Amino acid sequence: MSKKKKDWKTEKERLLRMDRDERRKEGYRRQDYISLDKIPTWREDNYSDGREDGNVLTGTGGLSEKVSLYKGDITVLELDAIVNAANSSLLGGGGVDGCIHKAAGSCLYDECQTLNGCETGKAKITCGYDLPARFVIHTVGPVARGHVGPTETNDLTSCYQNSLRLVKEYGLSTVAFPCISTGIYGFPNEPAGDIALNTVKSWIEENPNTITRVIFCVFLETDFNIYKKKMSIIFEDNDMEVADEQLKGDNMSPSTRPTAKDDNRGKEEAGDENKADSDAEGIEDVVMESQNPDDDVALEELNQEEDENNSQGKCDDIGTEQNKHEDTVSEKKDKEDDKEDELSAAKTEEKETSKSTVEMEVVSETAAPGTSTGEGIKDHADSSGQHESILTDSMKSKDAAEKKE
């Protein structure tokens, strides 16, 4: 007699009413499961060597305590939810999609039939049924076939963002992601790892109190090495660097490790140096204050002499400038005198010219009627010549008389 098929709605309601301990008593389809406390955080896993030596990492940590890297089967993880890299039908397929459907049982398939598929980059949620995980979040990654462009990058980023959105909406605190689209869909492993890690990091930073743990569950050794290398950079905390320095300090040999005595000695040496500097400054002040008074007097005289020389130089400069000014004034005065002489000579010549003109007019008017102007001028010239000869004779007779005396 065959088993009666379960109704997925009834089974879903029953399972979601049960707590974790009740689920464990009833048992999962697969008896083996891995609880969250068996998966170390990235902070713990990355510094496991220090933990084995008895060193405990201090501080509350940060992003490194919110994520883990796990290599194995995602279907055995006992978490609030695991993410399924599904196809658009949500009815199962190859790879991780087929493994999850097989482990969850037929009820998962029945519920997925009611969801009417899913678009690329979107996500939908169902019950986990026979899985240790309470929920399964189905997301459809892009088909890259080795080509990664803006569309493929945006779609893969949306897969992680929309899955985390459902985590927040349903009040879940732990979730595991497989490597989405890196299988048969052909998305290159390196860029897919970058998108997954950076998108999760940004979301945790925006919702630090929402999530307890995000687990990157990889199956291939290639993906494990890629994620390990990138997580050491992306999820590195400052306090982890301090802890690393503490571990290195603890591993130092006693001969090279600084002691309290060395610290005190260093402080004493620093104090001595400060004291020596203070003493040197004090001595310098005393020496400057106790200089010879005669030197001060000589210095003052020298300063006065320099001031006098400077004053004398200034006076010489002033005298020179004054002489230059006087020469300039004298030159201007000479030029003005020459100009006045020229004006006086011009006036005299103008007077003489006008006088001769008047005389000529008078002679012309006194000429006899019927005589020309030329004849009058000739008579006037003859009379002038006679007058000049008379004056000459009188001057000669006067000179002779003076000689006789």
Q: Which residues contact 181 (CB under 8 A, 6 or more apart)?
A: 85, 141, 142, 143, 144, 156, 159, 187, 192
pLDDT of residue 197: 98
What values do phi and psi take at 39, rounded to 5? -110, 110
CA dihedral 306, 311, 316, 321 (to 10 degrees): 140
Question: Which pLDDT tens digit goes with each residue over 61-85?
Answer: 589 999 999 999 999 999 999 999 9
Q: Supply the pLDDT for residue 27.
A: 84
> Mind listing the domains of the chain with CATH numbers?
8-49+62-235 (3.40.220.10)
Q: How many angstroms separate the CA atoms of 147 and 93, rounded?
A: 22
Q: In order along the chain (405 residues), what is the average pLDDT of each group of 10 residues?
A: 76 95 86 92 78 47 91 97 97 95 96 97 97 97 93 98 98 98 95 98 95 97 97 79 47 46 50 51 41 43 49 46 51 60 62 52 42 42 48 53 50
> What one-character DSSP code corresponds to residue 91?
S
DSSP bridge pairs for 127: 135
Q: What is the pLDDT of residue 240?
A: 46
Q: Coil, strand or helix: which one is 67? A: strand
Of the candidates 179, 160, 156, 159, the one whose C-alpha atom is nearest the C-alpha of residue 71 is: 179
Among 116, 125, 112, smallest CA distance to 163 is for 125
Could you report the per-residue pLDDT of 172-209, keeping only the tens digit for each?
A: 999 999 999 999 999 999 999 999 999 999 999 999 99
